[in-house]
Amino acid sequence: MPSDVEQLRLIRAQTLALIVEMTARPKPSYDLDGQTVSWGDYLAKLRATVDWCERRLAGEELFEIHTRGLT
């Protein structure tokens, strides 16, 4: 089973692939039988998903804190 970091990277990669596909062939928004399909809103949600993944991944990365003691 993949780790949380691997799953976040996979979600991010798949979402970025969807964004690339959508922006390469943009579609208009439309209404059908009272239901609205807004591709702009969908694209915004995909971008929010990428941002969320990046914030979570940034929190998972290793980091160092450099300190200096004085006497």
User: What does the alpha-carbon distance between residue 37 and residue 40 come to, in Å, rounded to a whole number?
Assistant: 9
The better pLDDT of the pair 35, 60 is held by 35
Place of tokens 């160092």: 64
State pLDDT tens for residues 27-58: 889 999 999 989 999 999 999 999 999 999 98
- The model carries a pTM of 0.74
Neighbours of 46 (CB within 10 A): 16
| Whether the predicted pLDDT of 67 surpasses 90 | no
